[in-house]
Amino acid sequence: MTADRRADRAALLVAPAAAVMVLLFIYPFLHGLVLSFRPAAGGALASYATFFTNRSLWPTIFTTLRLALPATIANVAFALPVAYHMRRRSRYQKVVITILVIPMTLGTVLIAEGMLTYLGPKGWLSQTLQLLHLASGPVRLTHNYTGVLLSLIVSGFPFVFLLMLSYVSGIDPVLGQAAATLGATPWRQFRYIYLPLLLPGLAMAFCLAFVQAFSVFPSAVLLGAPAGPTRVISIAAYEAAFEQFDDSLASCVAMIMGAVQLIVVSAVLGLRRALYRGPVTGGKR
């Protein structure tokens, strides 16, 4: 009895943090959900009707997906092999990790500013390409779709790489060595030992990277063409809240954003379940 009470009291340590999250996260979220059904004028669904009929609002879903999905796929596809090759502890492991992680410190705004200078029509890259006769005129890589995509890759890669690295190095190397003893080639070791065990981590990294890419905001404004090809959904939410002061519409856009995000995350997690049914922490320790 006393042991039970003691256990319960220790479990109470979770209460303050949980209360803070309810107050700061759950309550505003529910408030936003209710608010999205209470437009200033019209019926309960008026804000949603506005969103799905306005040509400057609903296409932002696909504009954002068109940026976030390729950026996330590229980052995961690049980070996985690099992290896999870095899995063994070596003298240069830490140096390479540090160098690859540095873009994390730049922040979206510095990346945007740097790209405007370096990749702009008069930047070093454009000048070099013209000097080498690889391009006839100034190369335009900023203020368009490409600029935003590149900035998402630069800012997103270090994060995906760190996550993948910690997942890869969490797999017991003995498993790969056992497979090698039985004659498995490096490719077969990766394909049949590491990849199945990595799938949960791969799915997690994809989801977390997608969250970051999907809420792209500063680079879409500074580096893209926020009126057209890179008018992402965050811009729509921001404008509704702080330029039109339509709280209901802003909350509605935020809710739709969350819904799209959840659809993608559950699709990825569902795909993982379809591919692999073993334990999530398999092969560790």
Partner 1 sequence: MRRAFRALLAGLATFFVVNVLFLVGAVAVSSVATRWLGTWLPDGATTRWYRDAWHEFQLGSVLTVTAEVVLAVVALSIVLGVPAAYALARRDFRGKRLVLLVFLLPLMVPPITYGVPLATVMYKVGLAGTLGGVILANLIPALPFVILVMTPFIEQIDPNLEAAARVFGADTRRVLLHVVIPQLGPGVLAASLLVLVRTIAMFELTFLTAGPDSQTLVVALYYAVFAAGVRAPQSIDAMAMVYMAVTLVWLLIALTFVDPTQLVSRVRR
**Number of neighbours of residue 278 by Cβ within 10 angstroms:** 11
* Contact range with partner 1 by CB under 8 A, out of 51-59, 159-167, 176-184, 271-279: 159-167
Interface residues for partner 1 in 229-268 (CB under 8 A)? 234, 237-238, 241, 247, 250-251, 253-255, 257-258, 261-262, 265
With CB under 8 A as the contact rule, the residue among 78, 144, 195, 196 that binds partner 1 is 78
Interface residues for partner 1 in 115-154 (CB under 8 A)? 115, 117-119, 122-125, 127, 154
**CA-to-CA distance for 107 and 213, rounded, in angstroms?**
13
With CB under 8 A as the contact rule, the residue among 163, 197, 198, 199 that binds partner 1 is 163
Phi/psi for 225 (5° steps) reads -120, 85
Secondary structure letter of residue 182 according to DSSP:
T
Integer Rg of the chain from CA: 23
Query: Smallest distance, Å, CB 99 to partner 1?
Result: 6
Question: Per-residue contact track with partner 1, 182 to 221, x per CB under 8 A?
Answer: ----xx-------------x-----xx--xx-xx-xx--x
Phi/psi for 54 (5° steps) reads -80, 125
With CB under 8 A as the contact rule, the residue among 59, 70, 170, 229 that binds partner 1 is 170
Ranges of beta strands (E only) in the chain are none
Interface residues for partner 1 in 5-44 (CB under 8 A)? 6-14, 16-18, 20-22, 24-29, 31-33, 35
Please classify residue 101 by burial: count the beta carbons closer than 10 Å to its beta carbon, then call 0-12 exposed, 13-18 middle and 19+ buried. Answer: middle
**Does residue 224 touch partner 1 according to CB under 8 A?**
no
Tokens representing residue 152 in the block: 């998402």
